[in-house]
Structure 1
Amino acid sequence: MLNAIEIGNRIKEKQKEKNFKQKDIIEKTGISKAAISNYISGTRVPDTESALKLSLVLETSIEWLLTGKTTNENFSEDEKEIIHCYKQATPAIQEAVRKLLDVPEKNEKSSDLKIG
């Protein structure tokens, strides 16, 4: 069973991580202010389309958004830790890591995308 309060807490966690205001999420997803408010406060569980839009804008999986779990069985503990540290790093450090690993630059930041 999905827990609306826990889902709201995970949305808040990603919102804070991305330095988004509620209006940023509304603008990027096209989800109504009332619905976003209900999701964040834990009074309502996002429908399928809203969960997809939120996961894309918040750069997480639908699975994590709804359950708090992530299926990444193919990653070693070391790889999981590296991914976690990368996500927590400043943009400058992330850029340095990308250059070190010779990862091509992104054309468009996903946080700048409008979904829907």
Structure 2
Amino acid sequence: MLFDLLDMLEWYRGLHPAWQTVIDILDRSLPYADEAGNHQVDGLSYQVLSYVSTDMGTAHTAEYDELHVILEGEEMCSLYQGDKATVVVQCTTGMFILFKAGEQYRHGQQAASPTAVHKVIFRLPEPAA
């Protein structure tokens, strides 16, 4: 799990071969204008989500490396090992969080009260060997 400000996204270019494609897509503001749902641009799949945060949020296990970018709003994101949260982060507009394939996480959790969230999740494919 890695989290930082979106302004620092370029610092992490070496983490994945598709990272520059993510930067290019965000520079073109595509996810901001896209409707909620699944999209594919320049060979990279991403999902735009709009929802209201809840007490429990939603639990997932990352199938691929996943880069979550908060476009608007705020939510709590938690990294889990088994049934125990090991890291909890409050994510706000202009932040990103990277979950590695296989990591268990919960997102969409409210901090104090329910908040509207607009975000994009980039699914980074397994690098070719």
Do the two structures share a fold, i.e. TM-score over 0.5?
no
The structure with the largest alpha-carbon Rg is 1
TM-score under structure 2 length normalisation: 0.25
